[in-house]
């Protein structure tokens, strides 16, 4: 007997934590299914989708780099969030065999902020890449005023104009927030860039731009405690680490794949321990 399964695809893929996350939930719920990883190169993507379409056991896949945009043309439809963001990180095989592209990064990102005692109102997002698109979309939908700080402010401005045309949002040079501020302007700081990740340059954001009670949110997962998170904790500010978004987006995808919400009653403590062991 074969089991239903979902998987994560990308190039490279060995580093993905998705199999550990979904496998943990499948075991906890006693679901007879599997979650795998598949190394799919760009030139193999079309053949991969064609093969999975006719596999009755396949429930869908999570999509990592470099396929989040390229996969769109191979799908039957996009949900509204994926269409706005212009990227797909979850493909769901529907009951009729058609494929829907979704983006669970946006709801996964916003989840811990919606649980905060007070929702932030003024955010600065560092970075103007694909992750920033999902994050800005989620923040705008939550009513947060967004500023983007990036090495190339023109790219940040273009992103804002694409996602929220006509809105009075700001694009700044990253150098502007690397220097001390005369007064704090933001109650939410989000690092949506690779800065601070293992093997990348350190984060340069100066925390004087954030209020004393600001939330500092770094989506980098390696290291789990990034220099930005460590500095914010030392300053007494609230922090959210990258595992929060990673687990949150996986939870949304899991329910699409397997038809039931994952068990998260312990605030993901056991899962976090597994992922950081």
pLDDT tens column, 181-221: 999 999 999 999 999 998 899 899 999 999 999 999 999 99
Indicate if 128 and 234 belong to the same structural domain. Answer: yes
pLDDT band at 1 (very low <50, low <70, confident <90, very high): low
Indicate if 110 and 77 belong to the same structural domain. Answer: no
- Mean pLDDT over 255-268 rounds to 96
CA dist., res. 9 & res. 13, Å (int): 7
CA dist., res. 161 & res. 159, Å (int): 5
Residue in 17, 28, 68, 115 annotated catalytic: 68
Rounded to two decimals, the pTM is 0.93
Domain that holds residue 249: 5-103+245-275
Indicate if 114 and 235 belong to the same structural domain. Answer: yes
pLDDT above 80 for 236:
yes
pLDDT of residue 167: 79
> How many structural domains compose the chain?
2
Q: At what angle do helices 130-141 and 153-163 cross, to 10 degrees?
A: 50
pLDDT of residue 273: 95
- What residue spans of the chain are helical by DSSP H? 18-29, 45-53, 80-85, 105-114, 130-141, 153-163, 227-234, 242-258, 269-275
pLDDT band at 177 (very low <50, low <70, confident <90, very high): very high
pLDDT in tens, 120-156: 999 999 999 889 999 999 999 999 999 999 999 999 9
Q: How many helices (H) and strands (E) does the chain have?
A: 9, 12
Indicate if 74 and 156 belong to the same structural domain. Answer: no
Q: What is the CATH number of the domain that holds 18?
A: 3.40.50.10860
- Mean pLDDT over 272-276 rounds to 94
Indicate if 265 and 191 belong to the same structural domain. Answer: no
Indicate if 97 and 144 belong to the same structural domain. Answer: no
CA dist., res. 97 & res. 112, Å (int): 33
pLDDT of residue 136: 96
pLDDT in tens, 18-50: 999 999 999 999 999 999 999 999 999 999 999
- Answer whether 214's CB lies under 8 Å from 120's CB: yes
Indicate if 18 and 112 belong to the same structural domain. Answer: no
Whether 68 is catalytic:
yes
Indicate if 126 and 141 belong to the same structural domain. Answer: yes
């Amino acid at each position: 007997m074969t089991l239903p399964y979902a998987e994560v695809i990308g190039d490279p893929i060995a580093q993905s934590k998705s199999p550990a996350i979904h496998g943990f939930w499948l075991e906890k719920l006693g679901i007879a299914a599997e979650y795998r990883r598949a190394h799919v190169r760009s030139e193999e993507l079309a053949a991969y989708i064609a093969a999975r379409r006719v596999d009755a056991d396949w429930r869908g896949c999570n999509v990592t780099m470099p396929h989040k945009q390229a996969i769109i043309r191979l799908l039957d439809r996009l949900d509204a969030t994926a269409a706005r963001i212009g990227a797909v990180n979850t493909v769901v095989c529907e009951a009729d065999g058609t494929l829907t592209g979704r983006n669970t990064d946006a709801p996964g990102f916003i989840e811990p902020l919606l649980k905060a005692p007070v929702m932030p109102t003024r955010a600065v997002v560092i970075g103007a890449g694909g992750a920033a698109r999902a994050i800005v979309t989620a923040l705008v939908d939550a009513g947060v005023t967004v500023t983007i700080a990036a090495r190339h402010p023109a790219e940040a401005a273009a992103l804002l104009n694409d996602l929220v045309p006509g809105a009075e949002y700001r694009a700044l040079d990253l150098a502007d927030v690397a220097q001390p501020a005369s007064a704090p302007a933001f109650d939410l700081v989000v690092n949506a860039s690779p800065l601070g990740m293992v093997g990348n340059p350190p984060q340069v954001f100066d925390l004087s731009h954030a209020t004393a009670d600001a939330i500092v949110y770094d989506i980098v997962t390696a290291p789990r405690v990034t220099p930005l998170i460590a500095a914010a904790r030392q300053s007494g500010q609230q922090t959210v680490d990258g595992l929060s978004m990673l687990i949150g987006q996986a939870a949304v995808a899991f329910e699409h794949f397997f038809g039931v919400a994952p068990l998260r009653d312990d605030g993901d403590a056991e899962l976090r321990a597994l992922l950081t062991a």
